Amino acid sequence: MENKNETPLKKVCIICAKGSIEDVYATLVMGNGAVMEGIETKLFFTFFGLDAITKKQMNKLHTATVGNPAMRMPGGLPFPSIMGMLPGVEAGVSAMMMKEMDKLDIPPVDEFLDMVTAGGGEIYACKLAMDMFKLEKEDLSEHVKDVLTIGDFYGMCGGENTQIIFT
């Protein structure tokens, strides 16, 4: 139900701090959705979320199989966390998840970044995390507009009708 007293969202700033398939794609889906709705969109990748914008890692993301209470086996049975420690299980689960996403025409990370930036969205990397992981701007996707401190990013996210989302 639409509330006529609410003002429409003008800007969304999304922070991605985790590098698993489900966390990165949540950021990309929400960011692309915002761009498609005409909302000014800025994505900030920090800590392990940097894997999503690092050339060597961006299309090699994995699903966490240990300690993931939402993980289910085919048929809906809970996935025993101890199985996730077995060699090859995480890679197999990740491949299966990517296969299911491919069936739904969900693009790989690099194509998703193309879509977000082509629609006017902006991609940023966290300076602290870059320094911590000893990464250089050259290690990142060409979609990354700049490397910023979180303070600089928050400064860009000001204004009326802005939402900051942390994934």
Q: Which residue has the higher pLDDT, 118 or 77?
A: 118
* Range scoring the smallest mean pLDDT among 28-32, 102-106, 115-119: 102-106
Instruction: Give the per-residue pLDDT at 62.
Output: 82
Instruction: Give the per-residue pLDDT at 117.
Output: 97
Check whether 125 has a pLDDT greater than 80. yes
Check whether 115 has a pLDDT greater than 80. yes
Mean pLDDT along residues 103-129: 94
Q: What are the chain's domains?
A: 11-62+80-166 (3.40.1260.10)
Instruction: Give the per-residue pLDDT at 138.
Output: 97
Asked if 41 and 48 count as a contact pair (C-beta separation under 8 A), the reply is no
- Of 41, 53, 46, whose CA–CA distance to 13 is shortest? 41
37-87 pLDDT, tens digit each:
999 999 999 999 999 999 999 988 888 777 677 777 767 777 777 776 777
> How high does pLDDT run on average in the chain?
88
Check whether 132 has a pLDDT greater than 60. yes
144-158 pLDDT, tens digit each:
999 999 999 999 998
Gap between the Cα atoms of 66 and 83, Å rounded? 8
Asked if 54 and 95 count as a contact pair (C-beta separation under 8 A), the reply is no
